[in-house]
């Protein structure tokens, strides 16, 4: 197990410009909080801890479970109905919808019949005027802005029940989308320009549709546009268990939410 008191090796190239990191670790007490690995007690960052809405107790159909993707420790499981992890306002460091950005995420779908939001940064709980989203809609994985306007289409139909890695980058001119480390699409469509202060995983708010039906893991947000080679390196590193990026160490009894204090964890194995 890595050192959850100070997990990120900030000297590693894949940690440069890292703002927020939600990683599924089985044994979180209840299903209330998803901590930000960038805001553990050993970090100077304040972070963006997420809060579960509607997740069942651990071991039920949703929540943090032990079934892991390649290289992972667990998974955030969503029932396709009403589950979401969110930072419902006050998310730090997101800038505007037009700021330089890289978002990465592992996903798995149990169905490809509907439309499902993996992650969304936005200005609202629900329908937003300013947003960047990684999602699925029949029949491709895509990146969109507010209102569902396409920013980049991968052209990839995921295999039901199989894990895939998604990434998007924005350099101020071009949006690019990557699947399993490979560039699959790009456009020069302009982004929205308003400020972002909400962060959602599993849908685009706590009481709306497009709920993810399957599992998600390893959500990361970076405040720079990363290169194609960097995205490939990140994909390989995460699929291999984060060598060099996560620091090995002891298992603390308590960890934090935004500030590093007061959240209790239990570990297995």
For residue 250, give both structure tokens. 């002891």
CA distance 119 to 58: 22
Which residues of the chain, if any, have pLDDT below 70? 1, 27-31, 41-46, 55-66, 206-208, 249-269
Contacts of 227 (CB under 8 A, 6+ apart): none
Query: What is the pLDDT at residue 155?
Result: 98
CA distance 216 to 88: 19
Domain annotation for the chain: domains and CATH numbers:
13-264 (2.60.120.200)
Express each pLDDT in 38-85 by its tens digit: 887 555 566 898 888 776 544 445 566 667 788 998 888 888 888 888
Query: What is the pLDDT at residue 205?
Result: 79
DSSP collapsed to 3 states, 79-146 = ECCCCEEEECCCCCCCCECCCCEEEEEEEEECCCCCCEEEEEEECCCCCCCCEEEEEEECCEEEEEEH
CA distance 147 to 157: 22
CA distance 254 to 234: 28
Query: What is the pLDDT at residue 179?
Result: 98
The string of DSSP letters for 226-254 reads PPHHHHHHHHHHHHTT-TTTBPB----SE
Contact 4, 25 (CB under 8 A): yes
Secondary structure (3-state) at 37 = helix
């Amino acid at each position: 197990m890595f050192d959850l008191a100070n997990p990120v090796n900030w000297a590693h190239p894949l940690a440069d410009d890292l703002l927020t990191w939600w990683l599924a670790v089985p044994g979180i007490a209840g299903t209330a909080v998803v901590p930000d690995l960038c805001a553990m007690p050993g970090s100077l960052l304040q972070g963006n801890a997420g809060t579960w809405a509607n997740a069942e107790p651990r071991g039920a159909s949703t929540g943090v479970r032990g079934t892991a993707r390649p290289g992972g420790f667990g998974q955030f499981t969503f029932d396709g109905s009403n589950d979401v992890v969110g930072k419902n306002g006050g998310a730090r460091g997101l800038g505007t919808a037009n700021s330089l950005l890289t978002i990465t995420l592992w996903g798995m779908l149990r169905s490809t019949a509907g439309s499902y939001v993996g992650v969304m940064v936005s200005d609202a709980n629900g329908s937003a005027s300013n947003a960047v989203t990684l999602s699925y809609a029949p029949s491709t994985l895509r990146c969109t802005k507010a209102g569902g306007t396409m920013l980049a289409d991968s052209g990839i139909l995921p295999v039901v029940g199989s894990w895939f890695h998604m990434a998007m980058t924005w350099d101020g001119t071009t949006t690019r989308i990557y699947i399993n480390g490979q560039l699959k699409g790009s456009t020069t469509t302009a982004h929205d320009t308003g400020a972002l202060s909400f962060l959602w995983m599993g849908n685009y708010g706590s009481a709306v549709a497009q709920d993810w039906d399957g599992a998600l893991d390893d959500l990361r947000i970076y405040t720079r546009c990363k290169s194609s080679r960097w995205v490939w390196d990140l994909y390989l590193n995460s699929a291999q268990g984060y060598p060099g990026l996560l620091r090995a160490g002891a298992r603390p009894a308590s960890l934090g939410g935004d500030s590093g204090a007061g959240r209790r964890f239990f570990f297995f194995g």
